[in-house]
Structures are given as C-alpha cells and as structure tokens.
C-alpha cells in the first residue's frame, strides 16, 4: 500500500534517485529543497526550505506517513570557516528544526529516516567498525554526533528513527565517482597517499533499496551503516576502478597535494574507515552489490543507469 512520504534534500544526488524509486513503488512524494528543480515529476508536491534557518513549512509534513531527511550542505568541498559553519548548521540545526516541526503536527509520521555519515567514526586505521563502535573526535565526527542527537529527539514523539550512516555512495551521475572518473579516463588516476586507508563504499541502488527496506521493516531502527559488506583499501579501489574503465592508474596523489587542494577536508579524503553493515545484515537486508568490481562494472556499463 502506498505511503505519503516527505523527502528533504530531494533534489540532491541520492534524493533525486530516491524520489523516482518511491514513485515507482506507488508512494506519494512531497519533495522539500531550497529550490524546485525543473525535472521534478509533476505528480510530486514541492515545498521550499532553508534547513539551517527555519522549520520546514507545516504543509510539507501534513499527512506524512514517513519522512526521509537528506538535506544538508555537501561535505566534499574545501572547508573554509564559513563552509564548516554551513555544514554544521544545515545538518544539526536543520534536523532540530525538522523535529521541532514534527512535534507540532497533530498526526505524526511513523518513521523518520535521517541521513547520517560514517564520518562519525573518525579515522580508525584497520579497526573493524560496526554501529556499536565508539565515535571519533574530529570536526566531522562531532558534527555527526550532534546531528544524530537532534534526530533521536523524534523518538520522544513516538516516531521510529533510523540513522542511516552513509559511506561513499557510488553512482555515475553524482557523488565521489563522478569526480574521480575524468582523471582516471585520462590515465591520470592513482591511489591517494599510501593507499592503505580503508574505503567503505556502497552502490547507489543499494542505498535506495536500504531506505525502502527501512521504511517497510519496523524492526529497523537506531544507527544503520549504509556501506557494502566488503570495504576495500584505497589502493584496491583504485585498481578496480582502473580495470573497470581499462586505463592504467599509475599516478599516486601525495598527501601534501591533497592538503594543498582540500585543506582541512583532506583529512576526510584520507580517513581510514573499515565499516561493516552489521545492523542491515542482522535485519535481513540483502546487498545487490556486495563486491566493488561488479558494482563498478554495473555503474560504468552504458545504459545501466535508469
């Protein structure tokens, strides 16, 4: 049976694909973002929302059976003081504003799925990380801790809360892969620094399926790592990507170059996070793309993206 679902950040990389998938599954979608995109299906209602500054409009939440909260300033950019403020405010204050707005609804949704990030763990070398692992203490980890705390407040309203800790989401039309493909296609790709750091990745289709699975299964709650069950080293990721596009990958990027390019955000690019999706596996979720090689082959095969 179709649900009424509000999606914040509906115009982003994940949100665009999710909106399409929800409609295909027979749900009614109310999209919320800073600006209505030209390609939004006519059947989708739309509300504008500046998440860091205000509560979402009441009509965007009225009658919602579920809310999927994806809105927030992108982390993958050079961290000036102003950008760091926007990252924090859009995610922590934005989530707080959303939960405050939900508290005033006479009929509240049954579930809030709030995007989170594996950045909560910090950089942990070879340590295997599950949802039960302790958090880190760098800038991004502290942001994610407070972001999740804001989301958990919705539990006091009788709402089931899922904190979806996203890894590196792979899709041809956005995210990390879209940034990596041009240099690799020119034969200029290579590992980052030592290449020994762990990369926890997930195919965009598995993200969408995990969200749909979380909507449908009341047993799914609390933190859920949205990462494939087989994380890889950065060197292995580089090798698999080069093989998938039939190009050499012989130009390692020195740590200093990354720091010059990204500043403080280089710490995220170089972070080692060996994350396992324990909660998803316990709940019975089946990954369509558990291995990186086939995931990349699928993404890079022409016509594979809807």
Higher-pLDDT residue of 172, 118: 118
Say how far apart CA 303 and CA 79 lie, in whole Å.
36
Query: So what's the pLDDT on residue 76?
Result: 87
- Domain-embedded: residue 250: no
Overall average pLDDT of the 262-279 stretch: 95
Identify whether the C-beta of residue 83 lies closer than 8 Å to the C-beta of residue 73: yes
Domain that holds residue 107: 4-169+201-227+276-287
Say how far apart CA 140 and CA 84 lie, in whole Å.
9
Question: Tokens in use for 251?
Answer: 């130009």
- Domain-embedded: residue 154: yes
Indicate if the pLDDT at residue 195 is higher than 90: yes
Widest distance between CA atoms in the chain: 59
CA-to-CA separations, 146 to 53, 92, 149, 164, in angstroms, rounded: 17, 6, 5, 14
Report residue 241's pLDDT band, with 50, 70 and 90 as the boundaries: very high
Indicate if the pLDDT at residue 304 is higher than 70: no
- Domain-embedded: residue 47: yes
Q: Encode pLDDT of 9-20 as tens digits.
A: 999 999 999 999
Q: Enumerate residues 6+ apart whose C-beta is below 8 A from 183.
A: 189
Phi, psi at residue 7, to the nearest 5°? -120, 115
Higher-pLDDT residue of 206, 262: 206
Three-state SS annotation for the chain: CCCEEEEECCCCHHHHHHHHHHHHCCCEEEEEECCCCCCCCCCCEEEECCCCCCCCCHHHHCCCCEEEECCCCCCCCCCCHHHHHHHHHHHHHHHHHHHHHHHCCCCCCCEEEEEEEHHHHCCCCCCEECCCCCCCCCHHHHHHHHHHHHHHHHHHHCCEEEEEEECEEEECCEHHHHHHHHHHHCCCCCCECCCCCEECEEEHHHHHHHHHHHHHCCCCCEEEEECCCCCEEHHHHHHHHHHHCCCCCCCCECHHHHHHHHHHHHHHHCCCCEECCHHHHHHCCCCCCCCHHHHHHHHHCCCCCC
Indicate if the pLDDT at residue 296 is higher than 50: yes
- Domain-embedded: residue 108: yes
Indicate if the pLDDT at residue 165 is higher than 90: yes
- Domain-embedded: residue 131: yes
Overall average pLDDT of the 273-288 stretch: 98
Indicate if the pLDDT at residue 209 is higher than 70: yes
- Domain-embedded: residue 283: yes
Identify whether the C-beta of residue 179 lies closer than 8 Å to the C-beta of residue 189: no
Count, residues in the chain: 306
Say how far apart CA 100 and CA 191 lie, in whole Å.
44
Question: Tokens in use for 299?
Answer: 């993404």
Indicate if the pLDDT at residue 305 is higher than 50: no
- Residue 228 buriedness (CB in 10 A; 0-12 / 13-18 / 19+): buried
Taking the model in full, what pTM does it have? 0.95
Overall average pLDDT of the 165-170 stretch: 97
- Domain-embedded: residue 266: no
Q: What percent of the chain has pLDDT over 70?
A: 98
- Domain-embedded: residue 238: no
Question: Which residue do the tokens 């009509």 mark?
Answer: 59
Report residue 306's pLDDT band, with 50, 70 and 90 as the boundaries: very low
Query: So what's the pLDDT on residue 302?
Result: 52
Query: So what's the pLDDT on residue 126?
Result: 98
Query: What mean pLDDT is reported for the chain?
Result: 94
Please choose, from the candidates 177, 165, 168, 197, the residue with its C-alpha nearest in 3D space to the C-alpha of residue 277.
165
Query: So what's the pLDDT on residue 188?
Result: 86
Q: Encode pLDDT of 34-86 as tens digits.
A: 999 888 888 899 999 999 999 999 999 999 999 999 999 999 899 999 999 99
Question: Which residue do the tokens 């070398």 mark?
Answer: 125
Q: What is the CATH number of the domain that holds 12?
A: 3.40.50.720
β-pairing verdict for 198-199 and 232-233: antiparallel
Q: Encode pLDDT of 81-137 as tens digits.
A: 999 999 999 999 999 999 999 999 999 999 999 999 999 999 999 999 999 999 999
Give me the number of domains the chain comprises. Answer: 1
Q: Encode pLDDT of 213-230 as tens digits.
A: 999 999 999 999 999 999
């Amino acid at each position: 049976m179709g649900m009424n679902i509000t999606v914040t950040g509906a115009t982003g990389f994940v949100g665009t694909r999710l909106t399409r998938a929800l409609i295909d599954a027979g749900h009614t979608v109310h999209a919320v973002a800073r600006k209505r995109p030209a390609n939004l299906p006519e059947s989708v209602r739309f509300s504008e929302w500046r998440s860091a500054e205000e509560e979402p409009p009441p009509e965007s939440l009225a009658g919602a059976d579920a809310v999927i909260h994806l809105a927030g300033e992108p982390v993958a950019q050079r961290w000036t003081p102003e950008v760091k403020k926007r990252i924090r405010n859009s995610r922590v204050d934005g989530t707080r504003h959303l939960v405050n707005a939900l508290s005033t609804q006479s009929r509240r949704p049954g579930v809030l799925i709030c995007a989170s990030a594996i950045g909560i763990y910090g950089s942990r070398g070879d340590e295997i990380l599950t949802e039960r692992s302790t958090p880190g203490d760098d800038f991004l980890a502290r942001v994610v801790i407070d972001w999740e705390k804001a989301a958990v407040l919705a539990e006091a309203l009788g709402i089931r809360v899922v904190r979806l800790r996203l890894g590196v989401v792979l899709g041809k039309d956005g995210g990390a892969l879209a940034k990596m493909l041009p240099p690799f296609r020119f034969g200029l790709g290579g590992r980052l620094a030592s290449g020994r750091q762990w990369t926890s990745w997930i195919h965009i289709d598995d993200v969408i399926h995990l969200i749909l699975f979380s909507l449908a299964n009341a047993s799914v709650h609390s933190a859920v790592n949205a990462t494939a069950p087989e994380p890889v080293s950065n060197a292995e990721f580089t090798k698999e990507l080069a093989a998938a596009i039939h190009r050499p990958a012989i130009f390692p990027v020195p740590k200093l170059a990354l720091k010059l390019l990204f500043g403080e955000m280089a710490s995220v690019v170089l972070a080692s996070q060996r994350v396992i999706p324990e909660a998803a596996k316990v709940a019975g979720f089946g990954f369509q793309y558990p291995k990186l090689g086939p995931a990349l082959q699928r993404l890079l095969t022409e016509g594979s993206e809807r």
